[in-house]
């Protein structure tokens, strides 16, 4: 029983680590450029204001996209450490708490990034914001990939939390199966 | 000791319930209009496309703002039930799990709404998106109030989760104080 738990937890952690690492790497390496009306548009995940004009850094110079990369990187780092520690029962209790914190961090970052990405993809005609994906499709594909990986990571952490909590709380359960 | 725990938990739940209820009500009642160049701009939390033209429903016709209201409303409903149930130890274990789920829901909704609100307030000059708060200040104040209440609720749920987990996990602790 304890062995099954260890294996399930390990597999979930491995999946979460893979997903967060993918999200970080794919988001950091995302860039694309396009020429429209002889103006060169560039899209990159981070902003560098000193770059040659005219450049349009789209969406991605925002605080939120940097927050996404930082959050996914923190989750990757934690995930890697957790992979090696998860069989040690002395830190298991601390990890239940850390898992909840990391899950909230991931949920927060993916929601913010999705909200921005939706505007980037569809625009908002009511507010006069134009969609930008037609101009920089390669960049958008990269960001979409990173967001899918981040979404998978958030779901895996939710499952991991529910599983650990149920296992941890089971001995307290007033009704024994 | 058990009494202190009950009182702290009850107060945290009361605070969380107040914050989520405020966030829901303030967001739902937010609306404002402004006249710019003889065009009437309206801002409301939900979109009704059949309304008299020319109207600009800003930001707020998005999926994410409705998601915000729905998430805060669910958290309010759960918070109200939890207030009456939190002293019953038979459901206490289930509530530890539900608290984590509600905390993730709140974190997700506040992050998405904050990301959009930031664009609404400051715009994004790189993507050609103009800020809208100068035109509809009353609406923006309302939304800001709702976001602050939602943020407080998310923080309170994080504290509540950490507190319950530490209390629940304490008996397992290998090192007794």
Q: How far away is chain B from the Cα of A25, in angstroms, using its nearest Cα?
A: 22
CA B61 to mean position of chain CA atoms: 17
Could you read off the pLDDT of B61-73 as tens digits, one per residue? 456 678 888 999 9
Do A104 and B109 count as a contact with CB atoms less than 8 A apart? Answer: no
Among B108, B123, B169, which would you mutate to test the A interface (most chain A Cβ atoms within 10 Å of its Cβ)?
A: B108
Tens digit of pLDDT at every position of chain B (177 positions): 667 878 888 899 999 999 999 999 888 877 655 544 444 555 555 443 333 333 333 444 456 678 888 999 999 999 999 888 866 666 777 888 899 999 999 999 888 888 777 766 666 555 555 666 666 677 778 888 888 999 999 999 999 988 888 877 765 444 433
- Listed by start position, the domains of chain A span 2-28+63-170
pTM above 0.90, yes or no: no
Residue A77's pLDDT is 94
The CA distance from B6 to B142, in Å, is 34
Do B119 and A114 count as a contact with CB atoms less than 8 A apart? Answer: no
> What ipTM is given for this predicted complex?
0.72
Give bridge partners of residue A40 from the DSSP assignment.
A35
Residues of chain B neighbouring A115 (CB-CB closer than 8 A): 62, 64, 111-113, 115-116
Residue A122's pLDDT is 65
**Residue B41 CB contacts under 8 Å (≥ 6 apart), including other chains:** B33, B34, B35, B55, B56, B58, B135, B136
The CA distance from A93 to A96, in Å, is 5
Among A34, A97, A115, which would you mutate to test the B interface (most chain B Cβ atoms within 10 Å of its Cβ)?
A: A115
Q: How far away is chain A from the Cα of B98, in angstroms, using its nearest Cα?
A: 9
| Per-residue exposure over A125-143, b if at least 16 CB sit within 10 Å of its own CB, e if not | ebbebebbbebbeebbebb
Do B128 and A124 count as a contact with CB atoms less than 8 A apart? Answer: no
CA A85 to mean position of chain CA atoms: 22
């Amino acid at each position: 029983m304890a062995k099954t738990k260890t294996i399930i937890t390990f597999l979930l952690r491995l999946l979460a680590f893979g997903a967060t690492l993918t999200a970080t790497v794919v988001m950091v390496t995302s860039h694309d450029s396009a020429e429209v009306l002889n103006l060169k548009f560039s899209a990159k995940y981070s902003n560098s204001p000193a770059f040659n004009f005219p450049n349009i850094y789209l969406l991605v110079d925002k605080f939120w996209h940097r927050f996404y990369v930082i959050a996914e990187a923190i989750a990757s780092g934690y995930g890697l450490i957790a992979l090696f520690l998860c069989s040690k029962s002395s830190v298991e209790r601390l990890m239940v708490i850390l898992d909840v914190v990391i899950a909230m961090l991931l949920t927060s970052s993916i929601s913010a990034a999705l909200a921005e990405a939706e505007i980037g993809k569809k625009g908002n005609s009511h507010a006069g914001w134009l969609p930008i994906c037609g101009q920089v499709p390669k960049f958008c594909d990269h960001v979409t990939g990173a967001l899918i990986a981040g979404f998978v990571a958030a779901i895996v952490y939710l499952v991991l939390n529910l599983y650990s909590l149920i296992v941890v709380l089971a001995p307290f359960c007033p009704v024994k199966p």
